[in-house]
Structure formats: structure tokens, C-alpha cells
Amino acid sequence: MKRFLSIKIILLICLLGAMVFLIGCTPSVSIHTGTVTGVINVYWPGVGYVAGAARVDVFDEGIFTVSSFSDGSYTLNNVPVGQYTLTVFKHGYVSAQQVINVVESQTTTNVDFNLETIESVEQLGGTYYFGFNLDKTPFSNLKVRQALNYAIDKEALVNEINSAWETNYMVAQGLIPPSIMGYNSSLAGYSYDVVEAQTLLSQAGYPEGFSTDLYYNIFNSFHYFVAQKVQTYLAQVGINAELHGIEWNEFIALLEQGELPFFRLGWRFDTPDPTDAFYCLYHSAGSGNYSHYNNPSVDSQIEQAWETIDEADFIQLIRQIESTIVNDAPAIYLYHY
């Protein structure tokens, strides 16, 4: 009996060994892939083609990336060998396509695209605002920033500007003007409320207000005119804003160095896709983020917006981004032009 049992064990061991041998001899299956690189140039109305961000898809393959906002470059890795249609998508632009051949272990280079705007316009409008440097006290305090927003009667001020300068500006509640996709006419923003401004200042530890410096670039007398009006409103809630008018080059240099606590700026939209403006001004890696605003949730949503193709989802996302930024109050949005 023991002898038969031993034979069975030996046979079982031999069988297992044979299976291991067969498995070891089975050829491995490899996925043959290549890489695609290129640059995306987007048309800026009135300017020309500028490298920028767009979604780059290997059509029907579920493979995509977003080109760099700064230099328009993109890289698609691990694309299966074969012939594909490459599609580039950006909101407000006509999608573009090219047929590419992906070769194993090789990089297909210079697959570049120029994107045209859907609508032919020379100007897209913009927004005039006063920004805060969130790295500077007291503007690191959210309640202070919100208080200053409540302290200014934007309706009256914009009417005064329009009357004095024969303009037709529109009061702004956020960054996006009516000409740009995602504009939200229901965005509440900040109403003129001196009591609320004073309450927030008290809660922030400044019941008597504080002194600060407000910078603007010298441009005829317009920016000074507006800055004076803002100065007057702020004085009503105990804030003494000393005005500093400086030349543009020095102004920008100081902004880039993070030296200015409170400053006048404007943003003229270069593309109909508001994601570009949000990235530049309010993404933590944005080159124009002079407010030093840093909200990881907003960063993520901005990046997601570039990936989003469905228009309804895109608009909802853009409005969420703008609403969060307005609540965080890195700026006082004064008017759209």
C-alpha cells in the first residue's frame, strides 16, 4: 500500500514539473508600441498663433494627453503600432486631425497642429481688477479680502467711470466676461455692504482697519482715476491705501518678484477657452499668478477642464472653478470691457 502511495506521489511530482516546464517554455506576449510628439498652436484673435494647451487624442483608442500651456508640446507614449487618426480638441476652436503611422520603439515627431477659432473675432473682451498678494499680511486672511470686496460700490464706480471716460463697461462679479464660454450671469459676487465689510474686518482682527499700499501702472490718468475711487471707498471702512503709480516695466518686475501686496491689473482674453486664463492667473503653476493663489482643488479642476470634451460638463466645471475663486477672493473684479 505504501509502495503504491509513493508511486502516486512521484507521478504527481513529475506531472507538476512538466507543467512548470511547459509554462516556462511558453513565449511571452509583448505589446508593440511607439511614441508620438508634436506642438499645438492655438489662434489668438488679433495676435496670431501661439503655443498652448489642447486635448490630443488617438482617435477611438482611449489614449489622450493635454499639451503644455507654456510651449504647446505634447507626448503620447505607449501607442500601439499601426495607423491612427490623431485629433486635437479645444473649446472654442475647430478640431483638427492628422493620420499618423506609429512604428515600434520609434518616436513619430513633429506632428504639429494649428487650431482656428470657431468664430472669427478680433477681440474677446476682458476684465479689470485689483489683485491681492496672498503671501502678504493682511491679505493672507480670507475675511480681509472679502471685506474689501464688500467695501466697494462697483455699480456706482463703474457708472462714474463710464460717464467720465465715455466708456461702456459692465460691472464684473468674476473673471469671465459675457463674450467667453462659461460666463455665469447668475454669479453672485459681492454686493456693496459697508456693514458686512466692517464685520469681516473685525472678525479678522482689524476692527479699526489698517494701512496698505496700492500699486498701479502709469497709463495716462485712467488707472490713477480708478485707484483714487477705490482708495476713497476703502477709507470708509478704515483702510488707508497709499497709492503708488509706477512705469509698466518696473510694475511687472515687482509683481514677478512677489513684492506688491495690492495691485491693479487687467486680463484681456486671448482665447475663447477660459481654462487658459484660469491656469495663467490662478493655477499654482501659472506664470501670471501674481496673487500667489494656491487651491489644490482648483488646480485639479482647471486641468480637468482641458480634458473635458462635453460642452455641458465643461461649462459646469468652469462655473465651479470661477465660483470657488470668487469666494476665495484673490481679487476685486471691477468691470468687463
**How many C-beta atoms lie closer than 10 Å to residue 72's C-beta?**
21
Q: Cβ contacts of residue 284 below 8 Å, gap of 6+? A: 293, 294, 295, 296, 299
pLDDT tens track for 102-114: 999 999 999 999 9
Calculate the dihedral angle through the C-alpha atoms of 199, 201, 202, 206, rounding to the nearest 10 degrees.
-160
196 vs 200: CA distance, rounded Å: 6
Query: Which cell goes with 44?
Result: 489668438
Residue 150 CA to its chain's centroid (Å): 25
Helix (H, G, I), strand (E, B) or coil at 192: coil
Average pLDDT over every residue of 265-280: 96
Residue with cell 482656428: 116
Amino acid at 48: G
Residue 225 CA to its chain's centroid (Å): 30
DSSP string, 11-48: HHHHHHHHHHHHHHHSPPP---EEEEEEEEEEEETTTE
pLDDT tens track for 207-237: 999 999 999 999 889 999 999 999 999 999 9
Q: Which of 47, 39, 38, 37 is nearest to 117 (CA)?
A: 47
Query: Which cell goes with 16?
Result: 507538476
Amino acid at 11: L
| Fold designation for 33-115 | Immunoglobulin-like (2.60.40)
Low-confidence winner among 28-32, 34-38, 188-192, 270-274 (lowest mean pLDDT): 28-32
**CATH number for the domain formed by residue range(s) 126-336:** 3.10.105.10
99 vs 59: CA distance, rounded Å: 10
Q: 143: part of which helix (H) or strand (E)?
A: helix 142-150
Mean pLDDT of the chain: 92
Every domain range in the chain assigned CATH 3.10.105.10 = 126-336
The per-residue pLDDT for 220 is 86
100 vs 77: CA distance, rounded Å: 14
Every domain range in the chain assigned CATH 2.60.40.1120 = 33-115
Strand ranges for 150-285 from DSSP E: 170-171, 210-217, 239-246, 262-268
CA-atom Rg of the chain in angstroms = 29
Residue 6 CA to its chain's centroid (Å): 73
The per-residue pLDDT for 7 is 43
DSSP string, 224-235: HHHHHHHHHHHH
> What's the predicted TM-score (pTM) here?
0.88
